[in-house]
Amino acid sequence: MNKGEMLYEGKAKKVYATEDPDLLIVSYKDDATAFNGLKKGTIAGKGVINNKMSNALMRLLEKKGVPTHYVEEINDRETIVKKVQIVPLEVIIRNIAAGSFAKHYGVTEGTPLKAPTIEFSYKNDDLGDPLINEYHVIALDLATQEEIDTIKTYAFRVNEELRKFWLTCGVTLVDFKVEFGRLSDGTIVLADEISPDTCRLWDSKTGDKLDKDRFRRDLGGVEEAYQEIMSRLEQHIG
Ligand code: TMP
Ligand code: ASP
Q: Determine which residue's CA is closest to atom 6 belonging to ligand 2.
A: 34
- The CB of 209 under 6 Å from ligand 1? The reply is no
Q: Using a 6 Å cutoff on CB, does residue 176 contact ligand 1? A: yes
Residues of the domain holding 213 = 85-221
d(CA 225, CA 50): 12
Chain segment 103-126, per-residue pLDDT in tens: 999 999 999 999 999 999 999 999
Indicate which CATH number applies to the domain containing 70.
3.30.200.20
Are residues 122 and 199 both part of a single domain?
yes
pLDDT reported for residue 238: 78
Residue 31 to residue 47: CA distance in whole angstroms: 8
Ligand 1 midpoint to CA 198 (Å): 6
The CA-to-CA distance between both ends of the chain, in Å, stands at 27
Q: Whose C-alpha lies nearest to ligand 2, atom 9?
A: 36
Say what the pLDDT of residue 1 is.
87
Residues (pLDDT < 70) of the chain are: none
pLDDT at 206: 98
Q: Collapsing DSSP states into helix, strand and coil, what is residue 131?
A: strand
Q: Is 154 in the pocket of ligand 1 (CB under 6 A)?
A: no
Overall pTM > 0.95: yes
Give the pLDDT confidence score for residue 153 in this predicted structure: 98
Domain membership of residue 123 (yes or no) is yes
How many domains does the chain contain in total?
2
